[in-house]
Amino acid sequence: MFRVIRPKKKILDPSMFKDGKLLPRLKRKIISEAQAYAKELGLKPEDIVGLYIIGSSAGYNWYFDADIDVNVLVNWDKPPTLKGPTVYKAHYDSKIVEKPVTYYFTSDMGSPVNIYDVLKGEYIVGPIGLQEKLDEETLLTIKKFLEKIEICAGELRLDIYEYKDAKREYEEALLYGDKEDIEKYEEELKRAQAEVEKDILTLKLLFKQIATYRAMVGEELTRSLSNAVYKGVEYSSFKTMIKNISEFYKSFRKGEMSFEELIEKIESEL
């Protein structure tokens, strides 16, 4: 069963805020980085109209490994690209208090809640937490989605067990079997490994699809409902589990660990 890992107290993230104000060193870092990235886009410092931390990181519903979203409000006639409501989304290799930061260069304020003005040092909207009560449809949808993740994790555990069994049989064939036995059990071992990898990719896909507002419960979800489901998964232990397993698998694909090391690490998460 999943565990809720979001803070229980109604406080702002103490690694970012003190007495309702962004910590000075973080303010300096955000301003400096935003100006540097704006320069890369051909913007001048005076083109930046405002800097705003938005979303959960600026509210009471923050969590420990959340990205920090910063809206960089700019004044421009011809933005570099137009993709949806955000003009330019810049994923930079930056971290603040060990949290990844994404800068959104836009002419639209964006988030309707939790808007902290970095330059003025005050909230425009918020801080606001999660709704304390969710309607029955939302709770049921969250439950269904979490059950899907539990089922997928259970299949991954089972397929890891079957992989270990197939490896044992293959090793015995190497010692005592003939060529035909070795080839047979080698193929079974390959199939078992493929099943484990398929389970890992399914877990990643589950979280990715809900993050892009696609239903995994049999029907299309409205944006608001699917966002609530996404948050429900984020505030459970599943989000950290999926994230860690994804990182382990990435290392395996890069050749940084063996498959045996991979499944050992995965088992520690399941």
Per-residue pLDDT of the chain (270 residues; tens, 9 = 90+): 344 344 445 688 888 898 889 999 999 999 988 888 888 877 787 888 888 888 778 887 777 667 788 888 887 555 544 344 445 555 555 667 677 888 888 776 655 567 888 998 888 776 765 444 556 766 677 777 777 888 888 899 999 999 999 999 999 999 988 889 899 999 999 999 999 999 999 888 877 666 554 444 444 555 556 666 666 666 666 777 888 898 899 999 999 999 999 999 998 887
Q: Chain centroid to CA 150: how far?
A: 18
State whether 91 and 158 are in the same domain: no
Count: domains in the chain: 2
Q: Which amino acid is at 166?
A: A
| Domain limit, last residue, from 125, 150, 177 | 125
| Domain limit, last residue, from 125, 148, 177 | 125
State whether 264 and 226 are in the same domain: yes
Q: Which domain holds residue 46?
A: 17-125
Assess if residue 183 is contained within a domain: yes
Residue 70 near residue 101, CB atoms below 8 Å: yes
Assess if residue 2 is contained within a domain: no
State whether 35 and 113 are in the same domain: yes
State whether 57 and 99 are in the same domain: yes
| Domain limit, last residue, from 105, 125, 145 | 125
CATH classification of the domain holding 76? 3.30.460
Rounded to whole angstroms, how far apart are CA atoms 61 and 55?
9
State whether 217 and 162 are in the same domain: yes
State whether 140 and 264 are in the same domain: yes
